[in-house]
Amino acid sequence: MTDPLPERFGESLTLERDGRVITVTFDRGDGMNSLSPEAMRDLTDLARRLDEDTDSSVIILHGKGAFSVGFDLKSRGRGPDDGPSLLERRQALKAGPDMCAAWERLEQVTIAAVERYCIGGGVALAMACDHRIAGEGAIFRLPEVPLGMNMSWQSNPRTVALMGPSRAKQFTILGERLDAERAREWGLVDDVAPAGEALKRANALGARYGAVAPIPLRMTKQAINMAAGALNPPTSYMDRDQFLLTSLSEDQREGVRAFLDKRDPEFRGD
């Protein structure tokens, strides 16, 4: 037996246990659940705490309202003169990849139940889980590259593994908008439930995993993930520095300005 888990973790996470299944609810109170630095820290710390829990076999993650609209661009600095040193800025960029890695490393089977919006960093977090179940009406999109950034958080290998390189390019570089059915066709989503019932469908899948003997479940998940993602670290370890590089470009600043001004960006390769 492990120490009891708290019912509330940080400012926006609540936990509920049902047998060997733990359901984590992400709720920032606005129905959008953007990934603020504080929310990412809480999600990372919770995953590390769940990693110690031997009484669970399944972790279900869902958002109250939207799964997550991703990182709030309004909380970003607008240029290199905002104060922190280059080293400090590079260190701060660990928050997203560390969060995704913490959820991917969990030995329990993880299921993301997605309703409404799953955007940017929300997609990266969902892809770090073992399964994704979407409610009808859910929307998936990666807006980073169209805004002049690169796609980081070590998510590119996960995207390729799920949908193949051709569709991964369309989804990532073009920022292709996928509804739930198209996301299933492209391999991003495992199952589509009626709107509002993604969590119910995730619970049904979780109950099946929860009935499996926990030791072989954990060992087999780990073996499959190692086989599927053995090359993920060496093919994505530089994306944090690539993001830092693009953050110094005029194109990236123009992309964010255009997003906030609700207009099309004018990129020049600067």
**Which tens digits make up the pLDDT trace of 85-102?**
999 999 999 999 999 999
Q: What is the pLDDT of residue 44?
A: 98
Cα 142 from Cα 145, distance rounded (Å): 8
Domain spans of the chain, in order of start = 8-261
Length of the chain: 270
Average pLDDT estimate for 202-222: 98
Is residue 78 scored above 50 in pLDDT? no
- Model's pTM, two decimal places? 0.93
Cα 251 from Cα 261, distance rounded (Å): 15
Amino acid at 126: A
Q: What is the pLDDT of residue 77?
A: 47
Cα 211 from Cα 224, distance rounded (Å): 19
C-alpha to C-alpha distances, 3 to 6, 38, 53, 109, nearest whole angstrom = 9, 24, 8, 20
Q: What is the pLDDT of residue 247?
A: 87
The residues with which 61 forms a beta bridge, in sequence order, are: 24, 112
Which residue is associated with the tokens 């193949």? 164
Residue 68 φ/ψ, nearest 5 degrees: -175, 135
16 and 23 Cβ atoms separated by less than 8 Å: yes
Is residue 122 scored above 50 in pLDDT? yes
Q: What is the pLDDT of residue 72?
A: 75
Fold for the domain defined by 8-261:
2-enoyl-CoA Hydratase; Chain A, domain 1 (3.90.226)
Is residue 48 scored above 90 in pLDDT? yes
Residues 173-210 pLDDT 10s: 999 999 999 999 999 999 999 999 999 999 999 999 99
Give the 3-state secondary structure of residue 148: coil
The residues with which 47 forms a beta bridge, in sequence order, are: none
Q: What is the pLDDT of residue 133?
A: 98
Average pLDDT, the chain: 94
Average pLDDT estimate for 156-182: 97
Radius of gyration of the chain (CA): 18
33 and 26 Cβ atoms separated by less than 8 Å: yes
Is residue 265 scored above 90 in pLDDT? yes
Is residue 70 scored above 80 in pLDDT? yes
Q: What is the pLDDT of residue 180?
A: 98
Is residue 164 scored above 80 in pLDDT? yes
Is residue 74 scored above 70 in pLDDT? no
Q: What is the pLDDT of residue 76?
A: 57
Cα 112 from Cα 66, distance rounded (Å): 12
Report DSSP letters for 121-139, one per residue.
HHHHHHHTSSEEEEETT-E
Cα 192 from Cα 147, distance rounded (Å): 29
